[in-house]
Amino acid sequence: MKFSYQEMPETLKGTYAEASQAWGFSWKEFVATVPSPLLLVTTYKQNGLPNACMQSWATFTSANRGKGFYAILGSVNKNGHLYATLQEKKEAVINFVSAVSFEKCMATIKNNQPEADEISVSGLTPRPASWVNAPMVEECFMNLECRYQWEKEIVPGDDHALICLEVIGVHIDEAYLKDRTGDQGVLFNIHHPQNPEITEKTGHDYAGIIQKKIDMGEY
Protein backbone atom coordinates (compact mmCIF):
# COMPACT_ATOMS: atom_id res chain seq x y z
CA MET A 1 0.00 0.00 0.00
CA LYS A 2 1.25 3.47 -0.89
CA PHE A 3 0.19 6.78 0.65
CA SER A 4 -0.16 9.74 -1.72
CA TYR A 5 0.38 13.42 -0.89
CA GLN A 6 -0.22 16.44 -3.10
CA GLU A 7 -1.29 18.97 -0.46
CA MET A 8 0.21 19.29 3.01
CA PRO A 9 -1.39 16.68 5.31
CA GLU A 10 -3.22 18.05 8.33
CA THR A 11 -0.84 16.05 10.53
CA LEU A 12 2.09 18.23 9.39
CA LYS A 13 0.43 21.56 10.08
CA GLY A 14 1.97 23.20 13.10
CA THR A 15 5.11 21.04 12.84
CA TYR A 16 8.65 21.79 11.69
CA ALA A 17 7.68 20.78 8.15
CA GLU A 18 5.22 23.68 7.93
CA ALA A 19 7.32 26.22 9.86
CA SER A 20 10.35 25.56 7.68
CA GLN A 21 8.64 27.16 4.67
CA ALA A 22 9.67 30.52 6.15
CA TRP A 23 13.30 29.41 5.66
CA GLY A 24 12.74 28.31 2.08
CA PHE A 25 11.98 24.58 2.50
CA SER A 26 8.91 22.84 1.10
CA TRP A 27 7.00 20.39 3.31
CA LYS A 28 7.48 17.87 0.50
CA GLU A 29 11.22 17.94 1.18
CA PHE A 30 10.62 16.45 4.63
CA VAL A 31 8.20 13.83 3.32
CA ALA A 32 10.45 12.70 0.45
CA THR A 33 13.65 12.95 2.58
CA VAL A 34 16.12 12.41 -0.28
CA PRO A 35 19.69 12.58 1.14
CA SER A 36 22.33 14.74 -0.54
CA PRO A 37 26.05 15.18 0.25
CA LEU A 38 27.20 17.61 2.93
CA LEU A 39 29.78 20.00 1.49
CA LEU A 40 31.81 22.96 2.73
CA VAL A 41 32.24 25.42 -0.14
CA THR A 42 35.10 27.88 0.32
CA THR A 43 35.93 31.14 -1.47
CA TYR A 44 37.79 34.38 -0.81
CA LYS A 45 35.84 37.44 0.27
CA GLN A 46 36.41 40.86 -1.23
CA ASN A 47 38.74 41.64 1.70
CA GLY A 48 40.83 38.55 0.90
CA LEU A 49 39.77 36.52 3.94
CA PRO A 50 38.46 32.94 3.55
CA ASN A 51 34.71 32.41 3.36
CA ALA A 52 33.17 29.03 4.20
CA CYS A 53 29.59 27.97 3.57
CA MET A 54 27.96 24.63 4.41
CA GLN A 55 25.92 23.32 1.48
CA SER A 56 23.77 20.36 0.63
CA TRP A 57 21.14 19.98 -2.13
CA ALA A 58 23.95 19.25 -4.57
CA THR A 59 24.79 16.74 -7.26
CA PHE A 60 27.64 16.01 -9.67
CA THR A 61 27.58 15.15 -13.35
CA SER A 62 29.73 14.87 -16.48
CA ALA A 63 29.04 16.70 -19.72
CA ASN A 64 30.51 17.38 -23.16
CA ARG A 65 31.01 13.66 -23.82
CA GLY A 66 32.95 13.20 -20.61
CA LYS A 67 35.35 16.10 -21.18
CA GLY A 68 33.95 18.08 -18.26
CA PHE A 69 32.92 17.28 -14.68
CA TYR A 70 30.47 19.62 -12.96
CA ALA A 71 29.01 20.31 -9.53
CA ILE A 72 25.42 21.55 -9.39
CA LEU A 73 24.65 23.49 -6.21
CA GLY A 74 20.87 23.43 -6.05
CA SER A 75 20.14 26.18 -3.51
CA VAL A 76 22.59 29.06 -3.01
CA ASN A 77 21.14 31.99 -1.07
CA LYS A 78 21.48 35.20 -3.10
CA ASN A 79 21.78 37.19 0.13
CA GLY A 80 24.69 35.15 1.48
CA HIS A 81 28.47 35.50 1.35
CA LEU A 82 28.91 32.46 -0.92
CA TYR A 83 26.75 33.94 -3.67
CA ALA A 84 28.49 37.32 -3.43
CA THR A 85 31.97 35.82 -3.58
CA LEU A 86 31.10 33.55 -6.51
CA GLN A 87 29.78 36.56 -8.40
CA GLU A 88 33.04 38.41 -7.80
CA LYS A 89 35.75 35.74 -7.83
CA LYS A 90 34.13 33.07 -10.06
CA GLU A 91 36.16 30.36 -8.30
CA ALA A 92 35.64 28.08 -5.29
CA VAL A 93 36.66 24.82 -3.63
CA ILE A 94 34.17 22.13 -2.65
CA ASN A 95 35.43 20.37 0.48
CA PHE A 96 33.92 17.03 1.47
CA VAL A 97 32.80 16.77 5.09
CA SER A 98 33.41 13.55 7.03
CA ALA A 99 32.45 12.48 10.54
CA VAL A 100 35.96 13.54 11.62
CA SER A 101 35.63 17.11 10.32
CA PHE A 102 31.86 17.52 10.78
CA GLU A 103 31.80 19.51 14.03
CA LYS A 104 34.37 22.07 12.92
CA CYS A 105 32.82 22.41 9.47
CA MET A 106 29.43 23.07 11.06
CA ALA A 107 31.03 25.75 13.26
CA THR A 108 31.55 27.87 10.14
CA ILE A 109 27.79 28.54 10.12
CA LYS A 110 28.10 30.82 13.15
CA ASN A 111 31.62 32.07 12.39
CA ASN A 112 30.52 34.04 9.35
CA GLN A 113 31.46 37.60 10.25
CA PRO A 114 32.80 39.68 7.31
CA GLU A 115 36.12 40.32 9.09
CA ALA A 116 36.65 36.68 10.09
CA ASP A 117 38.81 34.02 8.50
CA GLU A 118 35.86 31.63 8.64
CA ILE A 119 38.05 28.54 8.17
CA SER A 120 40.68 29.25 10.83
CA VAL A 121 38.29 30.60 13.45
CA SER A 122 36.31 27.35 13.19
CA GLY A 123 39.39 25.30 14.05
CA LEU A 124 40.18 24.24 10.49
CA THR A 125 43.27 24.80 8.36
CA PRO A 126 43.07 26.84 5.14
CA ARG A 127 45.42 26.03 2.27
CA PRO A 128 45.74 27.87 -1.06
CA ALA A 129 44.20 25.92 -3.92
CA SER A 130 46.50 24.81 -6.74
CA TRP A 131 44.56 25.89 -9.82
CA VAL A 132 41.95 28.43 -8.70
CA ASN A 133 41.95 31.52 -6.48
CA ALA A 134 40.18 30.04 -3.47
CA PRO A 135 41.14 28.40 -0.16
CA MET A 136 40.70 24.72 0.55
CA VAL A 137 40.32 22.97 3.90
CA GLU A 138 43.14 20.65 4.94
CA GLU A 139 40.97 18.56 7.30
CA CYS A 140 38.48 17.68 4.57
CA PHE A 141 39.54 14.43 2.90
CA MET A 142 38.64 15.50 -0.66
CA ASN A 143 38.74 18.95 -2.25
CA LEU A 144 37.39 19.86 -5.68
CA GLU A 145 38.76 23.05 -7.21
CA CYS A 146 36.03 24.72 -9.26
CA ARG A 147 35.21 27.59 -11.60
CA TYR A 148 31.81 29.22 -11.87
CA GLN A 149 29.96 28.44 -15.12
CA TRP A 150 26.37 29.63 -14.86
CA GLU A 151 23.38 30.09 -12.61
CA LYS A 152 19.62 29.87 -12.94
CA GLU A 153 16.60 30.60 -10.77
CA ILE A 154 14.48 27.48 -10.45
CA VAL A 155 11.48 29.81 -10.20
CA PRO A 156 11.76 33.35 -11.65
CA GLY A 157 12.36 35.92 -8.92
CA ASP A 158 13.45 33.38 -6.30
CA ASP A 159 15.97 34.43 -3.63
CA HIS A 160 18.01 31.24 -4.16
CA ALA A 161 19.90 30.19 -7.28
CA LEU A 162 20.99 26.93 -8.83
CA ILE A 163 24.69 27.30 -9.67
CA CYS A 164 26.92 25.18 -11.89
CA LEU A 165 30.63 24.90 -11.10
CA GLU A 166 33.14 23.12 -13.33
CA VAL A 167 35.53 20.87 -11.42
CA ILE A 168 39.05 21.83 -12.55
CA GLY A 169 41.01 19.45 -10.32
CA VAL A 170 40.72 17.05 -7.40
CA HIS A 171 42.75 16.48 -4.21
CA ILE A 172 42.23 13.23 -2.25
CA ASP A 173 43.83 12.30 1.04
CA GLU A 174 46.05 9.22 0.70
CA ALA A 175 43.98 7.28 3.26
CA TYR A 176 40.90 7.73 1.06
CA LEU A 177 42.35 6.79 -2.33
CA LYS A 178 40.84 3.31 -2.15
CA ASP A 179 37.43 4.33 -0.82
CA ARG A 180 35.65 7.65 -0.21
CA THR A 181 32.69 6.03 1.55
CA GLY A 182 32.41 4.11 4.80
CA ASP A 183 32.29 5.35 8.39
CA GLN A 184 34.68 8.27 7.78
CA GLY A 185 33.73 9.00 4.17
CA VAL A 186 31.22 11.29 2.49
CA LEU A 187 28.46 12.45 4.83
CA PHE A 188 24.92 12.94 3.56
CA ASN A 189 22.31 15.36 4.85
CA ILE A 190 19.13 13.48 5.84
CA HIS A 191 16.71 16.35 6.04
CA HIS A 192 14.36 16.11 9.03
CA PRO A 193 12.36 12.97 8.04
CA GLN A 194 8.65 13.28 8.77
CA ASN A 195 5.93 10.63 8.89
CA PRO A 196 2.87 12.34 7.34
CA GLU A 197 0.57 9.86 9.05
CA ILE A 198 1.71 10.88 12.54
CA THR A 199 1.77 14.41 13.94
CA GLU A 200 5.36 15.15 14.98
CA LYS A 201 6.01 18.37 16.86
CA THR A 202 9.78 17.86 17.02
CA GLY A 203 12.48 16.27 14.93
CA HIS A 204 16.02 16.69 13.72
CA ASP A 205 18.20 16.62 10.65
CA TYR A 206 20.74 13.80 10.54
CA ALA A 207 24.09 13.17 8.89
CA GLY A 208 24.55 9.68 7.48
CA ILE A 209 26.93 7.56 5.41
CA ILE A 210 26.49 5.21 2.47
CA GLN A 211 26.18 1.50 3.12
CA LYS A 212 27.13 -0.65 0.14
CA LYS A 213 24.42 -3.24 -0.60
CA ILE A 214 24.65 -4.47 -4.20
CA ASP A 215 27.68 -5.08 -6.43
CA MET A 216 26.48 -3.50 -9.70
CA GLY A 217 29.42 -5.00 -11.57
CA GLU A 218 27.33 -8.16 -11.84
CA TYR A 219 24.79 -6.45 -14.10
Q: Does residue 204 sit within a domain?
A: no
CB atoms within 10 A of CB 157: 5
Q: Give the pLDDT of residue 199.
A: 67
Q: Does residue 138 sit within a domain?
A: yes
Q: Does residue 165 sit within a domain?
A: yes
- Quote the domain boundaries for residue 99: 38-186
Q: Does residue 21 sit within a domain?
A: no
What integer is the mean pLDDT of 41-69? 96
15 burial (CB, 10 Å; 0-12 / 13-18 / 19+) is buried
* Average pLDDT in the chain: 94
- Contact between residue 30 and residue 16 where contact means Cβ atoms under 8 Å apart: yes
Q: Does residue 134 sit within a domain?
A: yes
pLDDT, tens only, 165-218? 999 999 999 999 999 999 999 999 998 888 888 866 566 889 999 998 999 998
Q: Give the pLDDT of residue 192.
A: 83
Q: Give the pLDDT of residue 204.
A: 81
pLDDT, tens only, 57-105? 999 999 999 999 999 999 999 999 999 999 999 999 999 999 999 999 9
3-state secondary structure of 147: strand
- Contact between residue 33 and residue 190 where contact means Cβ atoms under 8 Å apart: yes
Q: Does residue 93 sit within a domain?
A: yes
**pLDDT above 90: residue 22:** no
Q: Does residue 6 sit within a domain?
A: no
160 Cα distance to chain centroid: 14
Structural domain count of the chain: 1
Q: Give the pLDDT of residue 197.
A: 87
- For residue 133, the domain's CATH number is 2.30.110.10
Q: Exposure string (b/e) for 89-109, b if CB count within 10 Å is 16 or more?
A: bbbbbbbbbbeebeebbebbe
Has this prediction a pTM greater than 0.85? yes
Q: Does residue 27 sit within a domain?
A: no
- Contact between residue 55 and residue 93 where contact means Cβ atoms under 8 Å apart: no
- Contact between residue 111 and residue 88 where contact means Cβ atoms under 8 Å apart: no
